[in-house]
Amino acid sequence: MPDATPQATQAAKPAEKIGVLLANLGTPDDYSYWPMRRYLSEFLSDQRVIDYPKWKWQPLLQLVILSKRPFSSGAAYKSIWNHDKGESPLMTITKDQTAKMASAMAARYGDQVMVDFCMRYGNPSTKSKVRALVEAGCTKILFLPLYPQYAGATSGTANDAFFRALMDETWQPAARTVSAYFNHPSYIDALARSIETAYAKMENRPDILVCSYHGMPERYAQQGDPYSRQCHETTQLLRDRLGWADSQIISSFQSKFGPEEWLKPYTVDHVAELARQGKKSIAVVAPAFSADCIETLEEINEEIRESFDHAGGESFTYIPCLNDDDGHISALSAVVDENLKGWLG
């Protein structure tokens, strides 16, 4: 028998592929105390999110905030938890989005493109999914944070985790990131269609549509973060696409945390003021969120709704995020197609 050649004794090399890695914020593994504490500790220790000096912030976080907040946050998560699947709605929806994106990419590119997802905080980690894509033969990875508007505390920190994961790879794949897609025509159209569909089902048209975006400290915007501007541009593009007057659709910001001034107006206060001004029927949509999560299902649909009702509001409609809607998948696919140019033959 002929001697085995080195090539014959080596494991077969996987065919080269391109990976598309979707990324979202993250979710606790469970709503009980310790999983909540681990998740919140990782999230609130990120200096892209809270940029106070560690020597000042960490004692307050670990000794005070994380002794109490896991209980209140856990109760909020429990109220929206997908008990059938044992996971948060964000996890369920992100899995569904990934499956549909994988089908869309397979229809376009066959088995040349793989689609997977990761979470910035919690599981599955960015590092584990980069490793899995490389092991599957991906020599190129397109990283897509599922935040239409760029913010350092969302897209920026997601990119940081992606780049750190690449640092651990001996043979790094070629890499690209998608910065923002808030002004992509397909995204604006998908968002507008979701609003039109919701309005068509209502017996009476709301007096006003509130676009509620996740907030951030005003200081971050003053330091050059483009998020605030991109949020207002999103509302304007949506207004133009719907053909509505300026007074029919407005922007506000939610989820304020800590003592600093954040982007205003605050949604929770603003909806109450609208009710007092005679706007008794409103709808709320959350264009900064690609999937329904604690901030939409609990904060908007419960806390912010309650603020409106207590101020004399009569009709409050929350319009769900785009989630795994076909229009959303088409929009994300268009973004991916554009960013894969030059990588596909």
Token pair 């501007």 is found at 229
Nearest to 213 by CA among 267, 258, 257: 267
SS3 label, residue 203: coil
The Cα 277–Cα 272 span in angstroms is 9
Q: Give the CATH number of the domain where residue 198 resides.
A: 3.40.50.1400
The predicted pLDDT at position 120 comes to 98
135 belongs to an annotated ligand binding site? no
Instruction: Quickly list H helices, the chain.
Output: 6-9, 33-44, 54-60, 66-80, 89-109, 126-135, 157-167, 185-200, 218-222, 227-242, 267-276, 305-310, 326-339
The predicted pLDDT at position 13 comes to 56
68, two tokens: 């109490």
Q: Which residues pair with 118 in a beta bridge?
A: 23
| Encoded amino acid at 178, one letter | V
In this structure, how many other beta carbons lie within 10 angstroms of the beta carbon of residue 15? 10
The Cα 56–Cα 44 span in angstroms is 13
Q: Is residue 164 part of a domain?
A: no
- Asked if 68 and 74 touch (Cβ cutoff 8 Å), the reply is no
168, two tokens: 């651990």
Q: Is residue 74 part of a domain?
A: no
The predicted pLDDT at position 14 comes to 61
The predicted pLDDT at position 291 comes to 99
Q: Is residue 276 part of a domain?
A: yes
Q: Is residue 315 part of a domain?
A: yes
The DSSP call for residue 24 is: E
Buried/exposed 182-210: b ≥16 CB within 10 Å, e otherwise: bebebbbbbbbbbbeebeeeeeeebbbbb
The whole model's pTM is what? 0.94
Q: Is residue 232 part of a domain?
A: yes
Which residue range forms the structural domain that includes residue 280? 185-319
Provide the number of structural domains found in the chain.
1
Nearest to 149 by CA among 210, 229, 217, 91: 229
Taking CA 182 as the corner, what is the angle to CA 332 and CA 116, rounded to the nearest 5 degrees?
A: 30
Q: Is residue 143 part of a domain?
A: no
The predicted pLDDT at position 1 comes to 46
Q: Is residue 12 part of a domain?
A: no
* Tens digit of pLDDT at every position of the chain (345 positions): 444 444 444 455 567 899 999 999 999 999 999 999 999 999 999 999 999 999 999 999 999 999 999 999 999 999 999 999 999 999 999 999 999 999 999 999 999 999 999 999 999 999 999 999 999 999 999 999 999 999 999 999 999 999 999 999 999 999 999 989 999 999 999 999 999 999 999 999 999 999 999 999 999 999 999 999 999 999 999 999 999 999 999 999 999 998 999 999 999 999 999 999 999 999 999 999 999 999 999 999 999 999 999 999 999 999 999 999 999 999 999 999 999 999 986
57, two tokens: 């912030």
303 belongs to an annotated ligand binding site? no
Q: Is residue 207 part of a domain?
A: yes
